[in-house]
Chain A
Amino acid sequence: MATAAAQRTARPQADGATAGDPAEYQRVFDAAVAADERIEPRDWMPDAYRATLVRQIAQHAHSEIIGMQPEANWITRAPSLRRKAILMAKVQDEAGHGLYLYSAAETLGTGRDELLDKLHSGRQKYSSIFNYPTLTWADVGAIGWLVDGAAITNQVPLCRCSYGPYARAMVRICKEESFHQRQGYELLLALSKGTPEQHAMAQDAVDRWWWPSLMMFGPPDDESQHSAQSMAWKIKRHSNDELRQRFVDICVPQAESLGLTLPDPDLTWNEERGHYDFGAIDWSEFRDVLKGNGPCNEQRLTQRRRAHDEGAWVREAAAAYAAKHTGGTGTTGHDTTGAERA
């Protein structure tokens, strides 16, 4: 929880005099992190901490935005009006999450336009999971249950992340994500208990999404480049493999109550460890998808760029109108970020 201001370590500010002793700045920063205090936008922070956060938060925001596509793919084909309403609300929430996260990233001195440019030019990534296609309606349920489930497992610890604006965004996002995850589970349950065709559709979706969901936790601990530093800074609280294990342990009983199987012959309860053992992940596929060679990488980025490019005249119109009528620089919240930069 946020530390009361009175108890906070007295900290130099990011925009304060540069005359101070850098070693002293670093010491105060380290002490605040060690004391589980929150670092706030005006506080001094190491450049590498700032850069890591910008990268992580931006990629998180991009994932929300690109992640709208695989699900939006089914909005026009949703099989009942109730499901259609749930799906539309979910995709809308994802756009909202993207907005929170871009705002959190902007507190670090970057701008949304700049981050979107990096997404569109491939200089920043988004979650590899969204490069897989949604081939049937059941995929919408599998994404809710497994993909949102994995995201929550990853994100709940981020609610205690050392950087305040990110941690607060995650509190809001996790509440909505848990709701989406339950809806996905419920969608799969309806299919699993439905006709034989519906059951088969649900099983096929889980078979296709299970391994990509496990890859969402990132490379194994011994290959993870950023892990040790992120954990020292308390951006990250648990290792990739710890979170992946936690997720598997949660999913196995849920799959049983869904009446569906997980596509892993090596999945067995290990009494000694008190965890499920599971089979080897195909990391070559993961690397391939990260490199841009997944099934939908090209399609996802092309659609995102097209929406942005085809919308340029609309954004220009809004800015021109605002300049004429309010003397402002734009009304979309989009063109004002430059002024906020540190």
Chain B
Amino acid sequence: MTATGPATVPVTAALALGDDALVLSHRLGEWAGHAPVLEEEVALANIALDLLGQARVLLSLAGDEDELAYLREERAFRNLQLVEQPNGDFAHTIARQLYFSTYQHLLHAELAAGDGPFAPLAAKAVKEVAYHRDHAEQWTLRLGDGTETSHERMRRACAALWRFTGEMFQPVEGLDVDWAALESRWLESVTEVLGRATLSLPEGPRTGAWSAGAGRQGIHTESFGRMLAEMQHLHRSHPGASW
């Protein structure tokens, strides 16, 4: 579908940022009732809610939030492949949070400092994301520098998601960002946190033929279609209904 927002808002960028938040929020919502400790039920739901709030503002800039969330098909979503990755074990969820929240925090800080159309939104979001980033870092430390089992699980999780991290720095049309600088700050931060967690930066490529900016082009991984089927099923079953 073609969404048209206010003339001043670059729709491509609103969709990219909005879809990231929407999809990651959904994944975190899947944890409800399954977390390893009650405090994490609260924390993961809290982060999911923050992200959903961001998604609603961003998608509303691009069009109708519910039409965009519930009536687009897989190929029209512009989120990163990283955020659609299944939760896996707690270490996979935390590794995904570490990679993404570090990126999102740096990105929003830069957007908030500028005078583009996303500055006001980013100024609010950056405060929430600072908390998400702290949460991810604290758990990376506990898991990496906890027991042998948790260290190994965290190492594997960081390695498994590593190949999805390159696409975060593919330029997004409509966002005035120094992507190369963002990437080097991200690498520096993640290296530092992993180091403190007694882990090292994973080896291997950060991009591949299917992951270099592919999510932003609507090329997704297999589990994403199933996630959307679940998310959209009820809404699509009652065309035109309000809820």
Chains A and B are bound partners: yes
Residues in B neighbouring A311, C-beta threshold 8 A: 35-37, 40, 90
Inter-chain contact B52/A197, CB cutoff 8 Å: no
Inter-chain contact B49/A85, CB cutoff 8 Å: yes
Inter-chain contact B242/A190, CB cutoff 8 Å: yes
Chain B residue at minimum C-beta to C-beta distance from A322: B142
Chain A residue at minimum C-beta to C-beta distance from B22: A81
Interface size class of A (residues with CB under 8 A): 35 or more
Using known A-B contacts A85-B53, A317-B147, determine if residue A195 contacts B42 with beta carbons closer than 8 Å.
Answer: no
Inter-chain contact B32/A91, CB cutoff 8 Å: yes
Residues in A neighbouring B53, C-beta threshold 8 A: 85
| CB of B215 to closest CB in A, whole Å | 20
Q: Is the interface of A mostly helix, strand, loop or mixed?
A: helix
Q: Does B192 make an interface contact (CB < 8 A)?
A: no
Q: Does A79 make an interface contact (CB < 8 A)?
A: yes
Interface size class of B (residues with CB under 8 A): 35 or more
Residues in A neighbouring B40, C-beta threshold 8 A: 311, 314
Q: Does A123 make an interface contact (CB < 8 A)?
A: no
Using known A-B contacts A76-B230, A91-B45, determine if residue A317 contacts B39 with beta carbons closer than 8 Å.
Answer: no
Inter-chain contact B37/A334, CB cutoff 8 Å: yes
Stretch in contact with the other chain, from B9-17, B75-83, B127-135, B232-240: B232-240
Inter-chain contact A81/B33, CB cutoff 8 Å: no
Q: Which of A77, A95, A195 contacts B241 (CB 8 A)?
A: A195
Inter-chain contact B149/A313, CB cutoff 8 Å: yes
Inter-chain contact A88/B66, CB cutoff 8 Å: no
Chain A residue at minimum C-beta to C-beta distance from B240: A195
Q: Which of B36, B231, B240 contacts A314 (CB 8 A)?
A: B36
Which of A68, A84, A198 neighbours the largest number of chain B CB atoms within 10 Å of its CB? A84
Inter-chain contact B90/A321, CB cutoff 8 Å: no
Residues in B neighbouring A303, C-beta threshold 8 A: 33-34
Residues 80-96 of A at the B interface (beta carbon under 8 Å) = 80-85, 88-89, 91-92, 95-96
Residues in A neighbouring B143, C-beta threshold 8 A: 314, 317
Residues in A neighbouring B38, C-beta threshold 8 A: 65, 95, 98-99, 102
Chain B, residues 120-155, CB within 8 Å of chain A (1/0): the string is 000000000000000000000111011101100100
Chain B, residues 16-34, CB within 8 Å of chain A (1/0): the string is 0000001000100110111
Chain A, residues 308-326, CB within 8 Å of chain B (1/0): the string is 1011111111111110110
Inter-chain contact A80/B66, CB cutoff 8 Å: yes
Inter-chain contact A99/B42, CB cutoff 8 Å: yes
Q: Does B65 make an interface contact (CB < 8 A)?
A: yes
Chain A residue at minimum C-beta to C-beta distance from B34: A307
Inter-chain contact B29/A76, CB cutoff 8 Å: yes
Q: Which of B52, B141, B241 contacts A85 (CB 8 A)?
A: B52
| CB of A172 to closest CB in B, whole Å | 14
Residues in B neighbouring A317, C-beta threshold 8 A: 142-143, 146-147, 149-150
Using known A-B contacts A75-B29, A76-B231, A84-B52, determine if residue A194 contacts B241 with beta carbons closer than 8 Å.
Answer: yes
Q: Does A245 make an interface contact (CB < 8 A)?
A: no
Residues in B neighbouring A322, C-beta threshold 8 A: 142
Inter-chain contact A80/B243, CB cutoff 8 Å: yes
Binding site for B on A (CB under 8 A): 65, 68-69, 72, 75-85, 88-89, 91-92, 95-96, 98-99, 102, 137, 187, 190-191, 194-195, 197-198, 303, 306-308, 310-322, 324-325, 331-334
Binding site for A on B (CB under 8 A): 22, 26, 29-30, 32-42, 45-46, 48-49, 52-53, 55-56, 59, 65-66, 69-70, 89-90, 141-143, 145-147, 149-150, 153, 230-231, 233-235, 238, 240-243
Taking A68-B33, A79-B241 as known contacts, 17 extra A-B pairs with beta carbons closer than 8 A to each other, sorted by chain A number, are: A80-B66, A81-B52, A88-B45, A92-B45, A92-B46, A95-B45, A96-B42, A99-B38, A190-B243, A303-B33, A313-B150, A316-B150, A319-B146, A321-B141, A322-B142, A324-B145, A334-B37
